[in-house]
Chains A and B, each alone.
Chain A
Amino acid sequence: MQPILRHLTAATAVALGLATALPAAAQAPAPAQAPAAAAPANTLDAIRARGTLICGVNTGLAGFALPDSQGVWRGFDVDYCRAVAIALFNDANRVRFVPTTAQVRFTALQSGEVDMLSRNTTWTFSRDTSLGFDFTGINFYDGQGFMVKRSLGVQNARQLDGATICVQPGTTTEQNLADWARGNRINIRPVVIERLEDNIAAYNAGRCDAYTTDVSGLAAIRAVQSNPNDHVILPDVISKEPLGPLVRHGDQRFADLLRWIHFGLLTAEEFGITSQNVQQALANDPRPEVQRLLGRTGDLGRMLGVDNAWMANIIRGLGNYAEIFDRNLTPIGLQRGRNALWTQPGGLQYSPPFR
């Protein structure tokens, strides 16, 4: 027995030495070992090499991300993914959409399973800092609200004292609900179900008195109810929910691209460039900023590392911000409201100059 024991001790000792010595040898190519791990440092190059963008979207929210009857993903968030694909490959279809629940979306992005999230995600302090993300702008100004059945006769949110409320776990919504209830000394009972569909089924079955999420989400859910008029969205908005696409921290070039695609869509709307007239504008619009935006003069596209006709291609394929909004969100009953251009009363959407 003793020899075996001695062998084992010796083996362990040497192995321990190896385990600590091995890294010393491997220390030199340390940066090189990073690409072998989950996500490379430069996502943009990885997407180019792969030939497709992997975009994390909602599991199914009408107006934002929902496959149509042919299985083609449609929606406001989906169009932002497609815009990136057009900028990189001049092909709106070179995107693989990965449906992510509220609970797994951040891990999916952190681990490199998706390149970016375009998924009704609220820009918050901690997500921007300690979660290791960079938000690239606000493409939809939203706020949290409540939807109840009309038959309940509730007029405003403060009457929900004692109510059972369905909410998705892992969202700012969940925390806002708790904050709001505490702040207003209201008692609520949450029901937290991970999948959106199951959650809404619980609301419809009467398990909950109210469903809470961003007002845009409520509108989307209400629009696909069998009878939308049976449900009311209460007038109270209890939080600020600035939604926008996000990338991993450190992906500055990729973040720049996303940021300026959004601004490009806004600038196009501001100058009245649409999918209909973009060809004409490219040929003979005399305004210098339009010429720079569409890539006829200057080399803004090249500065971003994409084709100079990037915005012209995006606008031709998807339209400007207003067209994307009208195509996806107007049908579910959302108004432009705060998402109007800054030139409209109450509008917040503002683009820095293309120069």
Chain B
Amino acid sequence: MSSAPEDPRYARQAPRRPLRLSWADERVRNLFWQVLVVGLVGGAIYWLWSNTVHNLEVRRIATGFDFLGREAGLPIAESLIPYDPSMTYLRALTVGVLNTLKVAVVGIVLATILGTFLGIARLSRNWLVAKLAYWYVEVVRDLPLLLQLLFWYALLQGLPGPRQALNPIEGVYLSNRGLKLPFFVWEAAHSWALLAFALGVVATLLYRRAMRARQMRDGAPRRVWPFALLAMLGAPLAVWAAMGAPFTPDVPVLRGFNFRGGVDVSPEFFALLLGLTLYTAGFIAEIVRAGILSVHQGQWEAAQALGLPRGRVMNLVVLPQALRVIIPPMTSQFLNITKNSSLAVAIGYQDIVSIANTTLNQTGQAIEGIAIIMLVYLTISLSISLFMNWYNAKIALVER
């Protein structure tokens, strides 16, 4: 505020008059309307709240979040953390949140990759490729997502049963119970190797930045890949080997009703992922296409005049500029994937909505249940928005 007097705009302001309690005074009128609006909104909120509390009391419906500590007793088919029905509702809801995140994160990555390829394909000079991408986008965008999910789920159920499972490669089984893949028994050495890999990624990024800085000084390009290979592949392998290189294969075998061992991708998860990815990729393709078209033709011509091949023109000149147009609408698509994942309940994937619905049904505490669902989506959505806004600011045109 101390800078206000120096600002020439303030210097031109009319001299302040004392507040007169009259309708003629604009400030009094402004104050009146503001008080009225805020009062009405506040009153309406209070009325809704007190009414709700009153009605809940009259009906003797339990309120509060005590139920979170009670035993859930509901079975959950797939979980990223250990869970059994003797655990609490809080644990069950956590499992639900993680299931939502799982499908949203994988969906966002896959839809972005597929959508980018489709967007580029739509601009391809190859007539067939461009037309195929065009029709894909048109068909996928025009059909309701729920219908597509039910379609994929029905299609996956049409696969043979576990006893007649398709067996394309040794150890891989595809049946109406899902996709079974061979894995190995996870031991401490594998966790350490994973940690080494993560450190390798960080080291590679730092190395690349340092190399870029040197290139800026003398203009000579430097190779990053030998270091990347060493840090991201060599180091984890060395850690794994140093700890005795444990490897016990865990191959799925048919026992009783189903396969035991290995890892599986359930039809519910797969149908949801497939539906979300294919649907959203259609929208992303259009965003990417719009982004590329927004880059002036002159940029293409200038880059080609420098002798860059078409692929490098795209990677080095066009896409970085297109990103500025692409990122903001992309945020909406990422949010859409996350929110659309709540359709999971229709095909039996136990996400947060499914589990919270069951919880509110078993405990009768609908308001609390809905509040939890809203809080979870709000948190996830705001996190995505924050990250994307940060990224957007980072890649924004730096004016010099």
Contacts and interface: CB of A to CB of B under 8 A. Distances in A.
Interface of A: 1-3, 7-8, 10-12, 14-16, 18-20, 22-23, 26, 30, 33-34, 36-39, 41, 102-107, 110-111, 126-127, 129-132, 160-164, 167, 169-170, 174-175, 177-179, 181-182, 188-195, 198-199, 201-202, 205-207, 209, 248-250
A163 B162 CA distance: 11
Contact of A19 (B1, B42, B84, B150): B42
Contact of B157 (A190, A192, A207): A207
A19 B157 contact: no
B257 A198 contact: no
Contact of B35 (A14, A181, A190): A14
Interface residues of B, number: 62
Contact of A192 (B47, B158, B348): B348
A207 B177 contact: yes
Contacts of B85: 175, 178-179, 181-182
A206 B176 contact: yes
Given A11-B31, A38-B55, A169-B358, A178 B43 contact: no
A34 B53 CA distance: 11
A110 B61 contact: yes
Interface SS of B by simple majority:
helix
A206 to B, nearest CB: 5
Contacts of B56: 132
Contact of A126 (B55, B267, B363): B363
29 contacts: A2-B1, A11-B31, A14-B38, A15-B38, A15-B41, A19-B45, A20-B46, A30-B54, A102-B361, A103-B357, A103-B361, A126-B363, A130-B61, A162-B255, A163-B258, A169-B357, A175-B362, A178-B74, A179-B85, A181-B85, A182-B86, A188-B75, A190-B75, A192-B77, A194-B354, A198-B346, A201-B154, A202-B157, A205-B158
Given A7-B27, A132-B364, A163-B257, A192 B51 contact: no
A231 to B, nearest CB: 16
Q: Which of A15, A33, A177 has the most CB of B within 10 A?
A: A15
A178 B83 CA distance: 12
A177 B51 CA distance: 38
Given A110-B366, A131-B61, A175-B362, A206 B77 contact: no
B398 interface: no
Contacts of B360: 107
Interface in B125-176: 150, 154, 157-158, 161, 176
Nearest to B16: A3
Contacts of A111: 366
A38 B58 CA distance: 13
A265 B345 CA distance: 39
Contacts of B176: 205-207
A183 B55 CA distance: 39
Contacts of B348: 191-194, 198-199, 202
B1 to A, nearest CB: 7
Contacts of B35: 10-11, 14-15, 18
Contacts of B257: 160, 162-164, 209
Contacts of B58: 34, 41, 250
Interface string B8-43: 000000001000000000010011001100110111
A2 to B, nearest CB: 7
Contacts of B255: 162
Interface string B234-261: 0000000000000000000001111010
A164 to B, nearest CB: 6
A182 B86 CA distance: 9
A61 B156 CA distance: 26
Interface string B75-95: 111000000111000000000
B30 A7 contact: yes
A22 B364 contact: no
